[in-house]
Structure 1
């Protein structure tokens, strides 16, 4: 098989399989390899999924930012599709991270929600990118929509560094896993955390790549439909 015989998206199947295997391995590392935390007990294991979802959500929004910059420079539709796909996955991952954080907070702090700087900036970020997705689904079409979304995606990224730095910039009860003094994690816990990060990274790549491919296909079908409609007039 020659190098040119590979179709766009052929890489997604092996990545999806690798993600499934890695996620299964992550279950072992979380529930068996990592010890039970003495204070919180098994509830602490929410942490491994929470942090993986949160970190890859932040990466998703960085991709939206980078793709927006790239689109303004090159006007490549592929970059717009990746921006849209990354935004959708980022909103999903950050939403799940918020839900898991609430479950963890209920066990650790006794409340479902507190207006902690980390939680507040994350919630604002989630709403901002939900608005970005609403804009993408609006009636603006074609290159104009891609151009407007690229600008909005760049501006929206302002909140992302605030989410990352909020626990260090302001007084926060949210734990800092990799702070200056370390996160206080046992080596087995760190291993489980990094395995989860890798597994969710593969999942992110598979899902985002598939969604970007779907967007490209939908755009091609819409263009074909417009051509066929024009030919009848």
Structure 2
């Protein structure tokens, strides 16, 4: 049974509808920023999924180098592609939110700079896979690169805690001045859950597609010989 289509797909669809309701109808309007603050419910979950993608990429790359099994490389590749997608969404929604609040589109602050570096890491990982002619060698080099690149994830997370930054303090666990309205918390946590579900769905679909691609490639090689 195709679990991703029979269960995960419909569940994701329902969650996305509920998520939109919670964001635009249930959660109260933030007093100082107004309606633009609602992008927060998309911006932060995309950041979370970006980090999750790189974590899956990191673990899968370690397993691939250790076990030498193609299935781990397939998962790593899929996670890298999804990571680029969500990291791009994160970098796009940030300036849209920042412009009316900070009156600037971009600032080379520690959080924003380290986030941009993380996006380049994802892109470089995919480019490395494509530019090395030997597929197996490219997969190994990309795996090593992904493991080293994971160092940037804790840097992104800790940047606003370690250095002065224009970026606001975390609303969850950010100190005495941080915090969300209870209804905002419900919308926020449900949005994180929904985006995580979306990540799982995309990962499963991409892995399945990549396995099919690999199988077809192997069949072509056998026919050629």
- Normalised to the residue count of structure 2, the TM-score between the two structures is 0.95
User: Which one of the candidate residues 83, 89, 100 is aligned to 1:96?
Assistant: 89
Of residues 27, 33, 53 in structure 1, which corresponds to 2:20? Answer: 27
Aligned partner of 2:171 in structure 1 is 177
State which of 5, 8, 12 in structure 1 corresponds to 2:4.
12
Give me the CA root mean square deviation: 1.2
Q: Is 2:187 aligned against 1:195?
A: no
SS at match of 2:131: coil
Distance 1:74 1:172 in 2: 42
Return the offset for 1:182.
5.9
More moved, 186-195 vs 147-156: 147-156
What secondary structure is seen at the aligned counterpart in 2 of 1:137?
Answer: helix
Deviation of 1:160 after TM superposition, in Å, equals 1.0
Unaligned runs of 5+ in 1: 1-5
Equivalent position to 2:142, from 149, 152, 156: 149
> Aligned with 1:53: secondary structure?
helix
Question: 3-state DSSP class of the match of 2:219?
Answer: helix
Aligned-pair CA distance for 1:140: 3.0
Written as runs of structure 1 = structure 2, the 5 A alignment for 1:128-139 is 128-139=121-132
CA distance in 2, matches of 1:177, 1:57: 19
Larger relative contact order (CA 8 Å, sep ≥ 6) = 1
Distance 2:141 2:217 in 1: 20
Q: What TM-score comes out, normalization by structure 1 length?
A: 0.92
CA distance in 2, matches of 1:138, 1:219: 18
